[in-house]
């Protein structure tokens, strides 16, 4: 008998609560804010036929505005050697990203961008908030994987 494994994630994109910047981050002087998305990774092609080295590249994602209009596609790496996600500059506001999570597949994450701050979204199962963090400050996927800091503790743009 085969028993399906229930992970709490679905085959259609899962929408989670809104993610904002870390409240302990001090705002810079820039009127724009920033976004970094640690999306699911994929192995790069080998660098050369005689060097079978691979790099785990973050997968690309879409940024949409509040009305669903496409703002931009972010490849999320510059080359086959780039393992860091891209840091994207955006005007302060509310957006939605459509990205791939390591364990839940496609997810929709509403985000808040504040001037001079960086909103970070973790979808690669490599981030855990400090153990004493109240659960209402963290946004998680249905399977319990933490995604980022709740925007409810951030001041939303007007």
pTM above 0.95, yes or no: no
Beta strands in 2-104 (DSSP E): 14-15, 19-20, 32-38, 41-43, 56-58, 61-65, 70-74, 87-91, 93-101
Mean pLDDT of 109-125: 96
pLDDT at 51 over 80: no
pLDDT at 3 over 60: no
* pLDDT tens digits along 4-40: 444 567 678 999 999 999 888 888 888 999 999 999 9
pLDDT at 139 over 70: yes
Q: Which tokens in the block code for residue 70?
A: 């496409």
């Amino acid at each position: 008998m085969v028993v399906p494994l229930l992970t709490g994630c679905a085959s259609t994109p899962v929408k989670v609560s809104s993610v904002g910047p870390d409240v302990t981050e001090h705002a810079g002087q820039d009127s724009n804010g920033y976004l970094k998305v640690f999306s699911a990774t994929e192995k790069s092609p080998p660098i050369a036929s005689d060097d079978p080295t691979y790099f785990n590249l973050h997968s690309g994602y879409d940024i949409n505005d509040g009305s669903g209009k496409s703002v931009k596609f972010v490849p999320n790496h510059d080359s086959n050697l780039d393992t860091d996600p891209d840091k994207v500059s955006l005007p302060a506001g509310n957006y939605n990203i459509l990205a791939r999570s390591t364990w839940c597949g496609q997810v929709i994450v509403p985000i808040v961008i504040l001037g001079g701050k960086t909103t970070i979204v973790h979808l690669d199962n490599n981030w855990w908030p400090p153990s004493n963090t109240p659960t209402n400050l963290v946004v998680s996927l249905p399977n319990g994987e933490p995604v980022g800091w709740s925007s409810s503790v951030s001041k939303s743009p007007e």
